[in-house]
Amino acid sequence: MRSNVVWCLAVALMGCSRAPADAPASPDTAAGEAEAPFATAPADDAKAGTLAAPAVDPLFGAVAAGSEAPAHMLNRYMLALLNGNRSDSDAAWTFAPADPRHADDALLRALPDVRTLRLDSEPPLPRDKKRPSRLLEVPVRVRASTGQGTFRFHGWYRVQPRADGQGWQIQSAKLEPTLD
């Protein structure tokens, strides 16, 4: 019985003192020295030629890494509205409105003679309990200059992942006019 306990202790100590199989031995370390028990600083990693993996924001984890952020997708949508490109603006929606007069953002779509559109967005807020969230609400302020004057709106766009998981699409919107 004692020999089994001694044997288990010896194996445990040997396992604790060995370097991990995937970590190469450092040429600077002497044969009897132990490796440092803490992680190296990022500057040391840069010297070694390795880069740490970029941190992924858990808020945007429902889409593929490197996908366009919801705010950028909304900027492209506003550009399509400004240019009168209905196919591109409809493609931004999960379900494109059949009649622009009944769209969630019909106020923007109905503006005549739009010369400029400016979208200011705030960080998205999760609107479901899932992790990662599959429904984000992006608070926005919109400024539209037309031939009749300048119009301001505030509200939000709710976005969800596209079916292929490669980006975001608009699920719904709520915009209200703002008085200056």
Look at the block and give the residue holding tokens 């500057």: 43
Same domain, 75 and 163: yes
Same domain, 147 and 72: yes
Q: How confident is the model at residue 142 (pLDDT cuts 50, 70, 90)?
A: very high
- The 10s digit of each residue's pLDDT in 57-95 is 666 777 788 888 899 999 999 999 999 898 999 999 999
- The 10s digit of each residue's pLDDT in 23-36 is 445 444 444 444 44
Same domain, 127 and 141: yes
Give the mean pLDDT of 132-138.
90
CA 94/CA 162 separation, integer angstroms = 7
Same domain, 46 and 75: no
As to burial, measured by CB atoms within 10 angstroms (0-12 exposed, 13-18 middle, 19+ buried), residue 160 is buried
Q: Is 3 helix (H, G, I), strand (E, B) or coil?
A: helix
Give yes or no for a contact between 173 and 102, defined as CB atoms under 8 angstroms apart: no
CATH of the domain at 171: 3.10.450.50
How many domains, the chain?
2
* Domain ranges, residue 106: 61-178
Same domain, 47 and 116: no
- The 10s digit of each residue's pLDDT in 159-172 is 999 988 889 999 99
Q: What is the mean pLDDT of the chain?
A: 78
Same domain, 124 and 66: yes
| pTM score, whole prediction | 0.66
Most confident of 14-18, 58-62, 125-129, 137-141: 137-141
CB atoms within 10 A of CB 179: 4
pLDDT number for residue 36: 43
Same domain, 76 and 164: yes
Same domain, 72 and 140: yes
